[in-house]
Amino acid sequence: MYYAASVKEGRCDGCGVCVPSCPEPNALELVRLNGKAKMIRISPLRCKGCGLCITMCPKDALEILRR
């Protein structure tokens, strides 16, 4: 069992504020659709569940889940 960040469905607008806060390389990825930022994708294998991204998100779109 481990903890990892997860995107709350419908809340993430792809602003990307959380991405540079993550200390784990490639754990957060900004997904684009037609060249526009759409949402954040989180790798549960790379995310360590530290929660730094959650503190940075202005939309309260992220949460830590037990996996």
Q: What is the pTM of this model?
A: 0.87
Q: What is the pLDDT of residue 20?
A: 96
Q: How many domains does the chain have?
A: 1
Q: What is the CATH number for 16? A: 3.30.70.20
Q: What are the angstrom distances between the C-alpha of 24 and each of 19, 33, 34? A: 10, 24, 27
Closest C-alpha to 39, from 65, 12, 61 = 12
1, pLDDT greater than 90: no
User: Quick one: CA dihedral 44, 38, 34, 23, positive or negative?
Assistant: negative
Q: Please enumerate in sequence order all residues whose Cβ is within 8 A of that of 19, keeping only pairs 6 or more positions apart, or say none.
A: 28, 29, 30, 40, 53
Per-residue pLDDT tens over the stretch 18-67: 999 999 999 999 999 898 889 999 999 999 999 999 999 999 999 999 98
Q: So what's the pLDDT on residue 67? A: 83
Domain that holds residue 48: 3-66
What is the band of 7 on the pLDDT scale with cuts at 50, 70, 90?
Answer: very high
